[in-house]
Amino acid sequence: MKRIKIFDTTLRDGEQSPGCSMHLSEKLEIARALERMKVDIVEAGFAIASPGDFEAVKAIAGILKECTVASLARAIHKDIDAAYEAVKGAALPRIHTFIATSPVHMQYKLKMSPEQVLEMIEDAVSYAKKYCGDVEFSAEDAMRSEPEFLAKAVYTAIKAGATVVNIPDTVGYSTPSEMAQMISYLKNHVENIDKAEISVHCHNDLGMAVANSLAAITAGATQVECTVNGLGERAGNAALEEIVMALQTRKNLFGAYCNVDATKIYQTSRLVYNILGLQPPLNKAIVGQNAFAHEAGIHQHGVLANRETYEIITPQSIGLPTSRMVLGKHSGRHAVESRLSELGYTLSKEELGQVFQSFKELADKKKMVTDRDLEALLKHKKVEEQVEGFKLERFTVNSGNYVTSNAVVRLSKGDKLFEEVAIGDGPIDAAYKAIDKIIDGKPRTLENYSIHSITEGEDALGEAVVKVKSGDAYATGRGLSTDVIEASILAYLNAVNKLLQD
């Protein structure tokens, strides 16, 4: 069986999805999770895009030891210079350069002739090769390119030193049969194709990104570019979890395998959704809430008799916790540590102590603390540690249908205390205005606000997620509490502290 390399671009293409920008500490956390999941290549960002992107790529390159770390670069020297400077500290660095090869892109975007594009490919790849032995070339909009010209572009890139040639379906235009035909065409018409790996990067505009990626594998591609949860521009990219589980479930059909540890899928998926303040669609394949749910009587009967009747993969195969150990205020540190370990989390003694303290505080408010409560506590503890700044000391709100809502909020920073009062359109708006008055008096825009319960029941733990805009900068904040107003205040404060750090 041939090995398929998994190239994850969650931190580059995934972050380009509207509203999915991430703080540096969040990118590092995702990068570590990808390494634990054993992806082969992590595309850490687009180094030339901004100073923040450059620093993120550089930081990720410095911490990952088992994965190749790549940075994207246009086919121009300054981009390639920045990419190399960002990834040169990686154990396994890669420069990923690209230029469009479709007629519409060459004519209207690049305003170049096909001959000029070929010259740029040769120049860019050979220039990158001087820096780095591992160079990937992408023919942007390859699936709308003329096959003959695409073959010339691929040949030129390999001749100049490319170790990987990527065939992107940049606008999600292709179908599985067309993708397979294109890969086969290149294998048969590019003289030096055996000197490089063939990769694909499929977008999901017509809902066929995963199908197109799998079709490319059957035709001979050995690298697939994808993102956790299928994040990405417009309708997104091929979903990593769907590709990995398709290869694992239909191994004999594809005659291929990958090295990704599928039992880390659920945990990594939840991490990414949580950081971005999103929830998976109920019917999302592999990681959605209904992926292993059965309501129809005939289905329930079949599953109870034998799970294979209606489940082709097991919850355990993606690391989904299925047991429901219930912890309460009488549970000890060892029980909490044991349950977290079963859920896939390894904590230091100090981290366990902090989470156990939060667990005890929650257990005093709730009769039962579930797996989902524990996961939420752990993730929010990490959020608090990553973002320093103002902390909530106490608050009081007054609201009703015959009074103007007002809030008194007290914050601390270091040894100093700050307190303000404000009125607003409801208790949460009033509290947010009081926070703004304390910090700098500047109003911020609340772009999005949501709150949901982590578990069921009247004592459920509530998680608030906000997206806040200040100038041109955005930040997502999260707060957790059995009190929805407190959760909302903590979420806003978390976002504002991030904006103050950037």
Closest of 190, 246, 189, 260 to residue 218, by C-alpha: 246
Distance CA 236, CA 230 (A): 6
* Global model pTM greater than 0.75: yes
Write the DSSP string, 154-207.
HHHHHHHT-SEEEEEETTS---HHHHHHHHHHHHHH-TTGGGSEEEEEEB-TTS
* pLDDT score of 321: 66
Length of the chain: 502
Instruction: Identify residue 398 by its one-letter amino acid code.
Output: N
CATH number of the domain at 2-276, out of 3.40.50.300, 3.30.70.100, 3.20.20.70, 3.20.20.140? 3.20.20.70
* pLDDT score of 278: 81
Write down the domain spans for the chain: 2-276, 333-385, 387-501
Phi and psi angles of residue 72, each rounded to the nearest 5 degrees, phi first: -80, 150
* pLDDT score of 169: 98
Question: What class does CATH assign to 387-501?
Answer: alpha beta
Closest of 91, 105, 99 to residue 128, by C-alpha: 99
* pLDDT score of 477: 87
Domains 2-276 and 387-501 share a fold: no
Instruction: Identify residue 178 by its one-letter amino acid code.
Output: E
Query: For the chain (length 502 residues), average pLDDT per consecutive 10?
Result: 97 83 89 97 97 96 98 98 98 98 98 98 98 98 98 98 98 98 98 98 98 98 98 96 98 96 94 84 90 61 68 87 66 82 76 86 80 76 67 95 94 94 95 94 88 76 88 86 92 91 74
Beta strand 416-424 pairing with 223-226: unpaired
* pLDDT score of 166: 98
